Chains A and B, each alone.
Chain A
Amino acid sequence: MTKKGTMITDISVMIAGQAGDGVLFTGNVLAKILKRQGWEISTYRDFPSNIRGEPTNYTIRASLEKIYGRGDEIDVFLAFDCEAIIKHAKSMAEGGILLCDGEDLVQLPPSRRKVRIYHKFPLRKLARDNFGKEIFKNMIALGALGYILDLDFHVIEQIISEAFLKRKGVEIVQKNIRAIHLGCEQAKEIVVPEERRSLVRRKDSDRLFLSGDEAIAFGALAAGCRFFAAYPICPATEIWQWLAVYLPQFNGLVVQTEDELAALNMALGASYAGARAMTSTSGPGASLMMESFSLSGMAEIPIVVAHVQRVGPSTGIPTKTEQGDLNQWVYGSHGDFPRIVLSPGTVEECFEFTTKAFNLAEKYQCPVILLTEEDYGLNFRSVKKFDLSKVKIERGKLLTQEELISVKNFKRYELTSDGISPRALPGMKNGLHMVESSEHDEKGYRDEEPENRIRMMQKRMKKLKSASKDMIPPKIWGERNAEIGIIGFGSTFGPIQEAITQLKEKGIRARYLQMRTLWPFPSKKVEEFVTTCKEIFVVENNFSGQLSSLIKSQVRLPFEVMNILKYSSHAFRPHEISTQIQKAL
């Protein structure tokens, strides 16, 4: 928790229980309330890959400043059972408040004795006694948090009504609201006024509250994606589920395929026929897609693949976060072919990069990967409304029927100065051609002659040579001219920014290069950054330092870079980065 004078400016609330307890729902409602009260929100889900049982928790961080990830500590902790306390008490801030519906007394480690514990906040019992059902414990809990955080009960009622009115009717809404008020009254008896964490109320400016997956889905819709094929997989399915509702309303189609092999191939078929097409996946699904990843490179079919990374290898940990699949898309599949790998770092960039991905895919007629992570893929952030006026649809060298009619001897893979050939679609007059997965000539027919092979390889590989003007460049943040440099991609964006602030408080000045395109590698920009720093730390959520290796292979480094790695299946906390940098200096 941070304060400005007596005013709280940053706070984290954790709700924990067992999967199936309603932790996610309760957390989402709380997050929405705080967002409506004008706070910036970043949520963090920690849940097992099953439906019921096993511990789960949800952290809602609210700040008066823009935030991009979870913070360092938990200030208010509501636990539906004691198991949660044992697991997470170590993450609690000094003087934090803890409410627990447990029966047993939990001994906290001596270092955390200052944590206030309020045992036996009997959520379940209150729910049973007053409403006949344990499920009302969630709303009682929300009411208690409402009291502690001094929330606007008018807003709470509004959000509960939005959540239940349509689905369950007015009676259920009123019952839930009664439960909330009961929770508030009960909390008053336990929590003394000085212990409350009153949060200011501000006007909710024109902001959204959504996940990275949803931002990608909305971006795809805005960018004219009309064909989406996928196979269910955590944590990417949310992209599909959102599109499954909206694409049909735009005359588009979402197909659930038998596997990821079919998903990417079907999307490629649709793209070849002229649709803006996309698929989404994660870990093992991406491995299956590796097969046809190179087909899109070879046959020069535009495609967008959203890969929301989870923990690997193998089945790994499906619902948790990691950055272990950079190598997969930068180096993956057989043979050499052009590819573009984008790395959004925020929910805002998920939207922006998706709208750009479709243009890049069609302009360069190659696969474009949106590499994101469970961390901001499934979690919610408050963001400014997206600027739709910035969305442009550029279809590259796709010929219109009028243009194609006047072409003499159309060649789908014509050798051109930039390597990009004109594109016709099946069904068009005067455009008959072949799309070949095998090596082919300019007309698309199989050709294994060495001269042709060399020509066509050079043609394809040339396409991205002159593409740097269209690529999303790295962005530099932090202290100007600082000698400590940090490089990262994806979800480390938030923690690194906060780590820089923490370092500044300790008198250490640092700046940060946010990689936003991983391939083609922005060598010049990275080299400029590296050579003007004295120390470089590469921060990554993986074991081997995949970005670090990529940098080493693409940039001549004047000194050794240091890796700050985390592979616990969780996102970085800011202090984990700042303390490691401090130690290394």
Chain B
Amino acid sequence: MRKDKNYHLSDPTWCQGCGIYGIFSALKKAAVALNLDPEQSVVVTGIGCHGRLNNYFRSYGFHALHGRALPVASGVKLSNPRLSVVGISGDGDAYSIGLGHFIHSIRRNINITYIVVDNRIYALTQGQTSPTSHTGFVSVSTPYGSKELNLNGPRLALASGGTFVARGFSGDPSQLATLIEKGMKHEGFALIEVLSPCVIHNKVNTYQWFRKNIYNLDEDSSYNPRNKMYAWEKLSRGKKIPVGLIYVEKRPSYEDLVFGRGAEPLVFNDLRVDVPRLEKIMEKFK
């Protein structure tokens, strides 16, 4: 069995108190629980503070362009479905510049676990309003307050046909670890949005604020995450923010549909030029 240290490449240098520490430890915890082989795992990150995670988490890593973590992760997974593929993005990466990929990756249901670190601000670029910042949010980019409605990622995922929609809180790494573990076991696209305070730039959505404004669906035994209408209602009603497993359903993954379950990954194809077979195809051009 592998331990925490098997996934710990180096000590992070994120700002002290940043929510992402909770995500880092939860990811390692989930990896331990799944006994993930670092050499069979790929973590694809986007641009933002979260993007440093590859420097600290031990696995194969790909630090993609801003907003493009999902298409890269999709290409990796589809070429070699035997790899465990985790995508990580911030709220800007996932919900703004990469939003097209977010919706379509969910629709495809490729077996990727996607963690969206939602600090409700552009932190790396020094504190601009993000798509999840609430209306009226004052920042260097919206000094007179944001006039836009904030985006609800899990609800968008649900509307896009998401088969695993969860939300965690970086202040509760053990629940988050469980959600990541479940997400990685889920055979399809798993979204885990993580509410994660930025202690430097976001003075509104602090640990305290989140604690006051969230409630835990996992503790509600009457809640059935297999019912889409319940999930929709939870994500739409009231001011409080639900965390926990919001929705899950079984639907064949994209790769199972195109290759069949357990098929030999295409990266292991014998590429030698099959002359007789190609000659036959060439005949069709006559």
Contacts and interface: CB of A to CB of B under 8 A. Distances in A.
B272 A208 contact: no
Among the interface residues A248, A277, A435, which one has the most CB atoms of the partner chain B within 10 A?
A435
B63 interface: yes
Interface string B258-272: 110001101101011
Contact of A258 (B39, B100, B272, B282): B100
B17 interface: no
Nearest to B108: A255
Interface string A260-289: 011101111111111111000000000000
Contacts of B75: 227, 229, 265-273, 277
Nearest to B78: A253
Contacts of A269: 44, 62, 71-77, 79
Interface in B66-99: 67-68, 70-80, 82-83
A86 interface: no
Contact of B281 (A218, A259, A270): A218
A253 B275 contact: no
Given A391-B273, A432-B58, A270 B63 contact: no
B78 A227 contact: yes
A453 to B, nearest CB: 17
A315 to B, nearest CB: 19
A545 to B, nearest CB: 33
Contacts of B100: 258-259, 261-262
Given A224-B271, A253-B78, A432 B63 contact: no
Given A262-B100, A389-B275, A432-B59, A248 B258 contact: yes
Interface in A401-429: 425-429
Interface string A508-538: 0000000000000000000000000000000
A393 interface: yes
B234 interface: no
B65 A265 contact: yes
A257 B76 contact: no
Contact of B76 (A210, A273, A291): A273
B182 interface: no
Contacts of B281: 218, 221, 246
Contact of A265 (B59, B60, B72): B72
Interface in A470-493: none
Given A295-B64, A427-B80, A266 B74 contact: yes
A226 interface: yes
Contacts of B278: 218, 221-222, 388
A232 interface: no
Contacts of A272: 62, 72, 75-76
B73 A262 contact: no
Contacts of B201: none
Contacts of A227: 75, 78-79, 266
A81 interface: no
Contact of A273 (B68, B101, B267): B267
Given A209-B286, A252-B266, A267-B75, A261 B68 contact: yes
A386 interface: yes
Nearest to A35: B286
Contacts of A214: 285
Interface string A371-395: 0000000000000011011011100
A388 B279 contact: yes
A421 B279 CA distance: 36
Which of B47, B62, B75, B281 has the largest count of A CB atoms less than 10 A from its CB? B75
Interface residues of A, number: 66
Contact of B104 (A258, A429, A444): A258
Contacts of A261: 67-68, 71, 100-101
B280 to A, nearest CB: 11
Given A393-B272, A427-B83, A434-B63, A210 B78 contact: no
Interface residues of B, number: 54
A436 interface: yes
A12 interface: no
B45 to A, nearest CB: 10
B54 interface: yes
B55 interface: yes
A334 B232 CA distance: 43
A447 to B, nearest CB: 10
B61 interface: yes
A136 to B, nearest CB: 27
B38 interface: yes
Nearest to A258: B104
A431 B71 CA distance: 23
A218 B279 CA distance: 11
A514 to B, nearest CB: 24
Task: Give the interface centre of A221, A291, A434, A438 by most chain B CB atoms within 10 Å.
Answer: A434
Given A388-B278, A427-B39, A209 B71 contact: no
A570 interface: no
Contacts of B227: none
A131 interface: no
B27 interface: no
B271 A276 contact: yes
Contacts of B101: 258, 261-262
Nearest to A299: B62
Nearest to A431: B39
A437 interface: yes
Contact of A274 (B54, B61, B64, B80): B80
A445 interface: yes
Contacts of B60: 426-427, 431-434
Contacts of A226: 79, 266-267, 269, 271
A297 to B, nearest CB: 12
A255 B71 CA distance: 11
Given A229-B75, A250-B269, A257-B104, A295 B275 contact: no
Given A268-B72, A426-B60, A437-B65, A262 B79 contact: no
A257 B104 CA distance: 8
B40 interface: yes
B196 to A, nearest CB: 21
Contacts of B58: 432
Contacts of A291: 65, 68
B40 A274 contact: no
A427 B72 contact: no
B63 A437 contact: yes
A251 B44 CA distance: 25
B248 interface: no
Contacts of A391: 273
**Residue from B40, B44, B72, B73 whose CB has the most chain A CB atoms within 10 Å:** B72
Nearest to B75: A269
A112 interface: no
Contacts of A427: 39-40, 60, 80, 82-83, 267
Q: Closest 8 A-B residue pairs measured CB to CB? A: A269-B75, A224-B271, A265-B71, A274-B267, A269-B72, A270-B75, A426-B60, A208-B285
Given A222-B273, A433-B61, 14 more contacts: A227-B266, A251-B269, A252-B269, A263-B71, A266-B75, A270-B75, A276-B271, A295-B68, A426-B39, A427-B80, A429-B39, A432-B39, A432-B58, A435-B61
Interface of B: 38-42, 44, 47, 52, 54-55, 58-65, 67-68, 70-80, 82-83, 100-101, 103-104, 258-259, 263-264, 266-267, 269, 271-273, 275, 278-279, 281-282, 285-286
8 contacts: A224-B273, A269-B73, A270-B79, A273-B80, A275-B267, A429-B39, A434-B61, A446-B55
